[in-house]
Amino acid sequence: MDPVYIIEDGFIIEEDYIDLIESFAEKITTPSGVRRKNYVDEAIWFRVSGDLFEEKSEAELVTDNIFKHTGSKPELEKVLRYEGCEWRDQGNFCDKISVFDTKEKAYEWLFDCAVNNFKNNSNSPLIFKTKKDAENYLEDLSE
């Protein structure tokens, strides 16, 4: 990704956009230390006849019901899923916010969380796409 420019103490600084945004990701104290408030966990889910189940017991119940009605038992397949989670209540509990089929989609969600933190943080700097834009901004301020 192309660099971006910010102004800090009157100086123009070149930054990596992703690193800058990620530096504003919200952190929280959890039972295992300071962590990012939003995070991604890998989890095994179960697929039966195209339907996904978070709990193996639910999937087994469906396979049993299908067997009772059709006489054939469908395959119970393990599927890797990516859960977007968020720490709550001062880091004591976490909630599953979203579930994704791919790691890429999960990490897009995670980056979007950091973008929202950046946008809502009163200390986040203005971002300029070019150094010239930042220079023009400083010139406008001095006039």
pLDDT per residue as tens digits for the range 10-34:
899 999 999 999 999 999 988 888 8
Answer yes or no: are the C-beta atoms of 126 and 7 closer than 8 Å: yes
For 102, list phi and psi in degrees, rounded to 5.
Answer: -125, 155
Nearest to 50 by CA among 61, 38, 40, 62: 62
pLDDT of 1 reads: 66
Report in angstroms the alpha-carbon separations of 19 from 29, 35, 107.
22, 17, 14
pLDDT of 127 reads: 96
Answer yes or no: are the C-beta atoms of 17 and 3 closer than 8 Å: yes
pLDDT of 99 reads: 96
Q: Which residues of the chain have a pLDDT value below 70?
A: 1, 91
pLDDT of 11 reads: 94
Q: Give the global pTM.
A: 0.81
pLDDT of 89 reads: 74
pLDDT of 30 reads: 85
List CB contacts of 8: < 8 A, sequence separation 6 or more.
Answer: 125
SS3 83: strand
pLDDT of 40 reads: 96
